[in-house]
Amino acid sequence: MKKYIILLSIILFANNILAQNADSITTSENAQTEQPPQNLTNVDSMFVMANKLYNEGKYEDAVDIYEDILDEGLESSYLYYNIGNAYFKQNALGSAILNYERAYRLNPSDEDINHNLTLARTQIADKFDEVPEFFIITFFGKIKSLFAVNTWGVMGLLSFVIVLILALLFLFAPSLFIRRISFWIACFVLLFSISCKLIESNIRKYDSAVVFVPVLTAKTSPDDSGKDMFLLHEGTKVIVRETFNEWTKIQLPNGEQGWVISDAVTII
């Protein structure tokens, strides 16, 4: 009897996970679809209108509608990519790079996003010699870029469901050999599931920002009396280390650090 209670609990739990995940997948796909279905929702209609305005060269109007979609609580790499393109057409380098970076964060494997982000970066005034990364960090970065953030999340959830199925096999298998095999496979798949969720969480972590003003002076301390350290220009990507009142401590690719006004940078 106890086994059947456990079986019922596992089935209900797995069904709940898949149902929640299916909802998130549907929302994501609708937001990224270039040609929405005929039964358009309000957001789909907005998206179609924004694309039409963009193709007509009305980039500012297109951006307004794209950002209205963001205000609805929806986001996707395709949406951020379109916003970045519209800003780039208006020579708004900071806004273009910000949205390309957000698109890249959600889908680092997309070739179009990578191409346009690289192109936009060539127009940044600031050039730095980057500090070499530890090889493990470089390797981890390549692993993260294999799939979009939603894909990592889906793989994590599906592999966890497989763990639950293997748990059932362990409970009801007729032989000791099958129970042992199912146990060790379940351990391996569970590690994979945890890894996928950790990668998803790491990708979604916001620890970088883009300079949003034409020229920005970094100081030695979080106040106006601090000495000037270096100048930054619009579009430069920085790492956020900490915040204090209205100031943010940033780090450059070359390792230099300084304090800047928080309103001058926007979190990716």
Query: pLDDT at position 210, please?
Result: 94
> Which domain CATH number covers 232?
2.30.30.40
Let me know whether 116 and 140 are in one domain: no
Positions in the chain whose pLDDT score sits under 70: 1-41, 129-135, 137, 206
Residue spans of alpha helices (H) in the chain:
2-32, 42-55, 59-71, 77-89, 93-106, 111-121, 135-144, 149-172, 176-204
Please report whether residue 127 resides in a domain. Answer: no
Residues 116 and 147 in one domain: no
- Asked whether residue 25 is assigned to any structural domain, the reply reads no
Structural domain boundaries, residue 174: 135-204
Residue 37 inside a domain? The answer is yes
Q: Which of 186, 204, 222 is the last residue of a domain?
A: 204
Does residue 2 lie in a domain region?
no
Report the DSSP beta bridge partners of residue 242: 249
Q: Is residue 15 part of a domain?
A: no
Last residue of a domain, one of 183, 204, 225: 204
Q: Is residue 47 part of a domain?
A: yes
pLDDT for position 174:
85
**Which pLDDT does position 40 carry in this prediction?**
47
| CA dist 41 → 48, 69, 77, 166 (Å) | 11, 12, 20, 40
5 inside domain: no
Does 89 share its domain with 56? yes
What is the model's pLDDT at position 4? Answer: 43
**Residues in CB range of 88: below 8 A, 6 or more apart:** 96, 116, 120
Domain boundary among 163, 183, 204: 204
pLDDT for the residue 33: 39
Residues 192 and 230 both lie in one domain = no
pLDDT tens-digit profile of 155-195? 999 999 999 999 988 888 888 888 899 999 999 999 999 99
**What is the reported pLDDT for 132?**
61
Domain count, the chain: 3
CATH number of the domain that residue 57 is part of = 1.25.40.10
pLDDT of residue 186: 92
Is residue 229 located within the same domain as residue 154?
A: no
Residue 5: per-residue pLDDT:
45
On whether residue 177 sits in a domain, the answer given is yes
